Amino acid sequence: MTLHATRAAALLSWVNSLHVASPVEAVLQLQDCSVFIKIIDSIHGTDEGQQILQQPVPERLKFVCSFLQKNRKHPSSPECLVSVQKVIEGSELELAKTTMLLLYHSTVGSRSPRDWGQFEYKIQAELAVILKFVLDHEDGLNLNEDLENFLQKAPVPSPCSSTVSEELSPPSHQAKREVRFLELQKVASSSGNNFLSGSPASPMGDILQTPQFQMRRLKKQLADERNNRDELELELAENRKLLTEKGRHLVRWRARCE
């Protein structure tokens, strides 16, 4: 089965909206992973990946895979979601899957406002469907297979199919759905993070303001804070060890002088 053209186009629109590189017109243009690395740098707000860009493609892929694994809801899961070999061989499906995961992690981990209104309605609706799918399936035992089925033509109907049809419906058919989401928005607004949401009437705004997404984002923030704390504690322990060692050297030096 071939790649779902509409979903691939939506993913490329998102990539191009980031302005991290020259516009990408085909999924295969992502094969060298340079755009992926620049997206990761934009997520981190650093230029850590610049050195990796000087490395061959396999090393770049390892960097991308490491990021995706670290940011999974369950990082200890042994399943690798991206096949290095398939990317090297030019698998559009594998490249689209990588892009899909980067979109999800970028949106979940973002601390900056995003103007989703810059996208055409159909593109924005497709991006919302993609986010909703990952959000609903990231706890699944067959996430890799689920992602691949979703990205191919004639995807297998899933429990979120009703959501998909709703997301792709034109604005004139969304009155009832907007009432439902406005109720959810009232619950989600207590988080104080509404700056991430798009227009309340937009598909992306609907998804980002649901309690499900807000909770996932909060858990991501808490996990990041724990990781930062662990890194700081490790750095502190290493500094204490270094100071202790210097103190011992100083004591020995004084003893010799005396």
Mean pLDDT of 226-239: 76
In tens, the pLDDT along 135-179 reads 999 887 788 899 999 999 654 444 444 444 444 444 444 444 444
Predicted confidence at residue 1, as pLDDT, reads 60
**Does the pLDDT at position 247 exceed 90?**
no
Predicted confidence at residue 159, as pLDDT, reads 47
pTM for this predicted structure: 0.70
Mean pLDDT of 12-16: 96
Predicted confidence at residue 235, as pLDDT, reads 80
Predicted confidence at residue 201, as pLDDT, reads 66
- Residue pair 41/50 in contact (Cβ under 8 Å)? The answer is yes
The percentage of residues in the chain with a pLDDT greater than 70, rounded to a whole number, is: 76
More confident residue, 182 or 12: 12
